[in-house]
């Protein structure tokens, strides 16, 4: 996951720095830089979605565990 985010950052830096450093070659590298940036954006979106889903699943498990802990306590208190 960190590699994907790192790749996106590198892509962004290359996208910003390359045209100014290589002004004569900017037109040649521009399509490549755009593809790298698009790949980073897509990867970031996929990782973000995966992390959100994992968080939801974790919260569901925690809620289930709390409910199971509360059941025996309620059963004992009603006796």
Q: Along the 79 residues of the chain, how does pLDDT read in single tens digits?
A: 666 666 666 676 666 665 565 566 667 788 888 999 999 999 999 999 999 999 999 999 999 999 999 887 666 666 5
Q: What is the pLDDT of residue 39?
A: 94
Coil, strand or helix at 22: coil
Q: What is the pLDDT of residue 60?
A: 97
Angle between helices 26-77 and 2-21 in degrees, nearest 10? 160
> What's this model's pTM, rounded to 2 decimal places?
0.49
Q: Are 70 and 27 in contact (CB under 8 A)?
A: no
Q: What is the pLDDT of residue 71?
A: 86
């Amino acid at each position: 996951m960190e590699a994907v985010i790192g790749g996106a950052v590198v892509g962004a830096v290359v996208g910003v720095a390359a045209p100014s450093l290589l002004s004569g070659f900017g037109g040649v590298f521009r399509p490549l830089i755009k593809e790298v940036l698009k790949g980073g954006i897509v990867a970031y979106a996929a990782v973000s979605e995966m992390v959100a889903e994992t968080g939801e699943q974790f919260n569901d498990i925690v809620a289930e565990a709390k409910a199971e802990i509360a059941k025996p306590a309620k059963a004992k208190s009603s006796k």
